[in-house]
Amino acid sequence: LFLSLFYGEQYYVFRGNYWDYFNYISTSLLILKSNFVEILNLNSNQDIPLFLKISREYIFYRPSASLFLSLFLNLSTSSLFIIGFAFKFFLIILILISIFNLLSSLLKNNSFYSRLFYSLTFTFSFWTFYTYEIDALSHLASIPLFIFLLNQTFYFFDKLKKNNYYFLINFLIVFVSLFIVYVELASVYALLFFVYCLLNNDCNFKIISKNLKIIGIFVTIFLAITLPLYEFTF
């Protein structure tokens, strides 16, 4: 933030991938200024600003990050690039919280400060900032969801045995969110979950057959939410 104040607009507007960044901001502006019916009725042949023509094409392609960014733009549209810059910091903070949550489960004997240190190390590591610098906002927004699910996986079968529907519903909501925000990372998580099932003694035919009804309901809910965007997900 200090560097952005020191270097000015050139620093926080034109980062590593301003093409995608401008697409996200344009789509956010479109969502902010128009309702869904108005967006659908936009015609690229109309005499409208270029950003509207471009964002109309991207409105169905990973819209979640743009949707949340549009909420931030309610603060001010006159300084939309500095707000977009702050939005990326907000996502970084969510990554910090999620990785600290995961490490609190894995490193229970470690002190609070050591877990915080490891969390900060991950948050300011190459991969997080590579994603940050290429302005892959959907990917950046998906990382905390992905890490949160990794942590919840350790408790999944125990909660399933106990019919803890509060946990299971939260798990489903976050997985659906990850699937919509960034389907590629959701696919990676699904693969890891499958491998975890193969290695975990709690995952067996007995527990699956016992919970076929709840599994069927959850699959139905998952499909009902995700199918409207099938062209850009499935």
pLDDT in tens, 186-224: 999 999 999 998 888 877 777 777 878 888 999 999 999
Average pLDDT over residues 100-112: 92
pLDDT category of residue 99 using cuts at 50, 70 and 90: very high
∠ Cα 229 231 234 (to 5°): 85
- Per-residue model confidence (pLDDT) at position 152: 94
pLDDT tens digits, 110-134: 999 999 999 999 999 998 989 988 9
Return the structure tokens found at 206.
Answer: 């007995």
Tell if the pTM clears 0.75, that is, is over it.
yes
Q: Poorest-confidence range of 9-13, 27-31, 131-135, 213-217? A: 9-13
pLDDT at 187: 94
Biggest CA pair distance of the chain? 63
The chain-wide mean pLDDT, for the chain, equals 87
The structure tokens 């939005």 sit at: 87
- Percent of the chain, pLDDT > 90? 42
Q: Is the pLDDT of residue 168 over 70?
A: yes
Residue 10 pLDDT more than 70?
yes
pLDDT beyond 90 at 161: no
Task: Give me 21's structure tokens.
Answer: 């960044």
Overall residue count recorded for the chain in this entry: 234
pLDDT band of 12, cuts 50, 70, 90: confident
Per-position DSSP letters for 190-222, written without gaps between them: HHHHHHHHHH-TT-SHHHHHHTHHHHHHHHHHH
* 32, 91 Cβ separation under 8 angstroms: no
Residue 149 amino acid letter: L
In Å, how far from its chain's centre is CA 213?
Answer: 29
Residue 184 has phi, psi (to 5 degrees) of -60, -45
Structure confidence at residue 45 (pLDDT): 67
Distance of CA 149 to the CA centre of its chain: 12
Selection from 80, 79, 53 nearest residue 66 by Cα: 80
Count of CB atoms situated within 10 Å of the CB of 17 = 13
CA 39 to chain centre: 23
In the predicted model, is pLDDT for residue 182 greater than 80? yes
Mean predicted confidence (pLDDT) in 145-168: 91
- pLDDT higher than 70, residue 39: yes
- With b for 16 or more beta-carbon neighbours within 10 A and e for fewer, the 124-163 pattern comes to eeeebeebbeebbbbbbbbbbbbbbbbbbbeebbebbeee
pLDDT at 48 over 90: no
pLDDT for residue 121 = 94
Listed in sequence order, the residues at least 6 apart from 192 whose beta carbon sits closer than 8 Å to its beta carbon are 150, 153
Residues 6 or more apart whose CB falls under 8 angstroms from that of 178 comprise 142, 145, 146, 149, 185, 186, 189
In this prediction, residue 44 carries a pLDDT of 64
| CB-based contact 109:58 (threshold 8 Å) | no
Q: Is 80 exceeded by the pLDDT of residue 73?
A: yes
